[in-house]
A and B are shown apart, each in its own frame.
Chain A
């Protein structure tokens, strides 16, 4: 596997379910991100992890819970979601050198539908 991978690619869940999205990067980066893409809205940053520590939480509801066990893996745990949470969830990684100059590498995304 190369680059950034995400599983599952598609997920349908009910509002009472608990599920997790997984992201893995094979690029040796030290920063990972979760983004949300809703219809007709810009890519919206949710969480940033740098050196396995959360450095950004963009006012995301607590029904989304991120976890970064090591620099290669990032999870997004989902529970009691709402239908409006249906969206494309993208993971990305980059090398954090203390600047904004490093490009981010994106995974293919998980298309989430909440019924």
Chain B
């Protein structure tokens, strides 16, 4: 069974703070890593799909890096805003095509 760990489980920051979370996964047979953002009462929304060791992707104030050799990915948010409050999920594929294994997520709360 693929073990995906995300830390921290939850995070409370002030508006304007920068923050980062970690996703750890087994590094063998790596295919890709997905990051999703899930706001309360909404649907999970894809942020990034990362495939190559050393990949760095950016969308506005959010960026992510990938290290496939050691099995981790970081998600960074620069200058957090209240609208960034959500659960951030990572999901490496579970070996087979289309099968994603989700971590438990990091719950981010940004206080105005």
Q: In the complex, how many residue pairs between chain A and chain B have their CB atoms under 8 Å apart?
A: 68
Please give, as numbers and ranges, the residues of chain A lying within 8 Å of B104 by CB-CB distance: 40-42
Contact of B43 with A45 in the complex, beta carbons under 8 Å: no
A15 at interface, CB cutoff 8 A: no
Q: B48 → chain A, closest Cβ, in Å? A: 9
**Of B42, B44, B49, which one neighbours A101 at CB under 8 angstroms?**
B49
Q: A48-B98, A48-B99, A56-B99 are in contact. Are A100 and B31 (CB under 8 A)?
A: yes
Contact of A100 with B98 in the complex, beta carbons under 8 Å: yes
Q: A29 → chain B, closest Cβ, in Å? A: 11
Q: A31-B98, A42-B103, A48-B98 are in contact. Are A99 and B31 (CB under 8 A)?
A: yes
Number of interface residues of B (CB under 8 A): 25
Contact of A106 with B100 in the complex, beta carbons under 8 Å: no
Please give, as numbers and ranges, the residues of chain A lying within 8 Å of B103 by CB-CB distance: 42
Q: A56-B98, A98-B97 are in contact. Are A43 and B89 (CB under 8 A)?
A: yes
Tell me the residues in window 74-112 of chain B with beta carbons closer than 8 Å to chain A beta carbons.
89, 91, 93-94, 96-105
Contact of A107 with B43 in the complex, beta carbons under 8 Å: yes
4 closest Cβ contacts across the A-B interface? A103-B46, A100-B93, A43-B102, A106-B43
Q: List 16 A-B contacts (CB under 8 A).
A: A31-B98, A42-B104, A43-B44, A45-B101, A50-B98, A90-B43, A92-B44, A96-B98, A98-B97, A99-B31, A99-B97, A100-B31, A100-B98, A101-B31, A106-B43, A108-B42
